[in-house]
Structure 1
Amino acid sequence: MADISSSPQRSWLGVALVAGSAVAWSYGGAIQRFIGVADGWTIVFWRCLFAGLFLLAFMLIRDRIDGTIRLFRAMGWPGFFIAVGFALVSTFFVLAVTMTPVANVVLFMASIPLFAALLARIVLGEPITPVTWGAIGAVILGVGIMVSSSIGEGGSILGLALAAAIPAIFACMTVLTRRYPGIRMTPAACGGSFIACAIAASQAGAFAVGFQDLTLLFCFGALNLGLGMALYVTGARMIPSALAALLGTAEMILAPVWMVLLHNEIPSGRTIIGGALVMAALFTYLISHARQASRPVPTAAA
């Protein structure tokens, strides 16, 4: 019988799902700009509540009640820490977007794979190739250019700090999943959404929002954060991880485009230059990583 998991149809489905997740994640900042709620913690509360409920429903449909309970029980402490990281990232994204241009936030996020490679070198002892070192240096330079642009224009230093914390936290989460490869992301993301919701509930000034804002918050949580995660975890199993990472870069490219088209939020010249440098470094790293992964492993003679 043919292996369905390696069939071309399944591979194309995986590509479509991962690309769809990148598109879903890319319009988060654009949605948030339409929301008329001034309190960022209120936005975090409703967004993460809707995301958590969406992911819980997704698991109940996919894995039934018994399977969903097993997934949560199997998380252990590593999965709990991943959930906490997801809660922090979800919170920091919303708060950072209220203080700094969306382009800055998503372009900081583009450096996640390189931060992860550097942290894996420190924690796990994984080797770093010269290409990766060069890409890390280019990212540092590109981020420096973007930060200098925002500070020069009176941008929020706190917003930039929150945006910078996102790739650092994601890098920790990536290294943790490499150390414990059995961690499942869906229950961790679901649990993290509810953790962020609980934290936001203790900080929010009010919970009442109008119908229009509630609809936007539902889209922000369920259709941006939740649906994006569901599409990614489903599609990433069908294609090589390097290809999934390359497809994921569409989020960083599309997010500033949505802001220009829908909100006329045009990045500054230095943000574009720094962002282009970061994206070029990311593409170089991912393509080099994909080539290394595709090389056959030499086997010893019998």
Structure 2
Amino acid sequence: MTHGRAVAGMLLVTLMWSIAGVVTRQLESARSFEVTFWRSLATFVCLGGYYAWAHGRSTLALLRAGGRPLWVSSVMWSVMFTCFMVALTLTTVANVLITMALAPLITAVLARFTLGHPVARRTWAAIVLAGLGIAYMYGQGVSSEPQHVIGTLVALGVPIASAINWNTLQRSGTSVDLVPALLLGSLISAIVTLPLSLPLQASVHDVGLLGLLGLVQLAIPCVLAVRLARHLPAPEMSLLALLEIVFGIAWAWLGTSEQPSMAVIVGGSLVLGTLFVNAWVGLREARA
């Protein structure tokens, strides 16, 4: 695969990832944990069908081969699935996506203490500036709209789980395929959230939309991302992944009139600008 095609593929992946917010806003009766349950179940069914078609009976052998790192990764993915969808029911799409964008910075800090990896000065500077951007975004929301603050705290579970996931796999020294971890993670998420979703209230319309998310927003793009990771360096993938935030906010704005506040625009621009510069410099260093 050429570099240009890999970049185009990653753009398609970020576009598919970004539809979660606008689709969730179209739900009629499904709320909170039930939203997570149906999307996770749909993801498990889709990925399970993919593995049954591609690997057949050898699927169980692939799962066993992952060992402990695979299970740790699966649990972290289940946390990400759950926190992401619950957060979307509590606060705006922009708040959730910008909070999730902190994952690379949290990963770098955690790697410093668990793996002994040095953190570049530019990354420390990025952490400070991004923190200021987040603080500015939610400074007024603490007193006026506490639900948004709760939603942000729930969304923070996504980058934290992502950081733990990555550092655990790095420390194990084992290469774990992302797709089996996604398969088990979606199953764990569905099992955990089912009791919290009862009694189920989702309409057929809601189940259809959440099934669409499970297939188009998670299963397909995540499988594509695994394949594209073989052709794109990590810094470049992280840089392109930032487009999910831009696309997601734009979808919510155009599709549901969920216009970001001025505080979100200013604070979010500081966060995204900081992450972009940090990722861009990292990519140049990697190429050099």
Work out whether residues 55 and 226 of structure 1, in 8 Å CA contact, stay in contact via their aligned partners in 2.
yes
Larger radius of gyration: 1
Shift of 1:208: 5.2
Does residue 87 in structure 1 map to residue 78 in structure 2? Answer: yes
Look up the match of 2:223: 230
Which residue in the other structure is 1:116 paired with?
Answer: 107
Q: Which residue of 2 aligns with 1:281?
A: 274
Structure 1: how far apart are the matches of 2:28 and 2:81? 19
Is 1:105 the counterpart of 2:96? The answer is: yes
3-state SS of paired residue (1:34): coil
CA RMSD of aligned residues (A): 1.5
- Structure 1, unaligned runs of 5 or more: 1-8, 296-302
Deviations 1:141-192 (A, max 9, x none): 1111122143244141321210122111111112122223411111001100
Normalised by the length of structure 1, the TM-score is: 0.90
1:130 and 2:128 matched: no
1-side partners of 2:70 and 2:212: how far apart? 26
Question: Which residue does 2:193 correspond to in 1?
Answer: 200
Shift of 1:269: 0.7
Between stretches 243-252 and 202-211, larger displacement belongs to 202-211
Q: Which residue of 2 aligns with 1:185?
A: 178
Deviation at 1:194, TM superposition (A): 0.5
TM-superposed deviation, 1:125: 0.9
Q: Is the 8 A contact 1:149 1:271 kept in 2?
A: no
Flag the 1:15–1:69 CA change in 2: closer, same or farther, 3 A. farther
Task: Compute the TM-score of the two structures, normalised by the length of structure 2.
Answer: 0.94
Pair 1:160 & 2:160 matched: no
Deviates more, 1:241-250 or 1:36-45: 36-45
Q: Deviations over 1:91-134 (max 9, x none)?
A: 11111111111100000111111110111111111111111111
Q: Output the CA distance in 2 between the equivalents of 1:55 and 1:216.
A: 17
Q: Can you list the C-alpha shifts for 1:65-96, whole angstroms capped at 9, x where unaligned? A: 14422321122111111111111111111111
Specify every segment of 5 or more residues in structure 2 that has no aligned partner in the other structure, as ranges.
Answer: none
Match of 1:252 in 2: 245
Query: Given the alignment of the two structures, is residue 143 of structure 1 paired with residue 134 of structure 2, yes or no?
Result: yes
Q: Please name the residue that 1:42 is paired with.
A: 34
Q: Assess, with a 3 A threshold, how the Cα gap between structure 1 residues 246 and 126 changes in structure 2: closer, same or farther.
A: same
Q: Kindly tell me: are residues 60 and 15 of structure 1, through their superposed partners in 2, closer, same or farther at Cα, counting changes over 3 Å?
A: farther
What is the SS of the residue equivalent to 1:75?
A: helix
Whether contact under 8 Å (1:51, 1:190) holds in the other structure is yes
The one-letter amino acid paired with 2:6 is: G
Deviations 1:188-225 (A, max 9, x none): 01100000000111111223532222211111211112
* Equivalent residues of 1:17, 1:234 under 8 A apart: no
Separation of aligned partners in 2, 1:259 and 1:97 = 11
Amino acid paired to 1:41: F
Give 1:183's aligned amino acid.
Answer: V
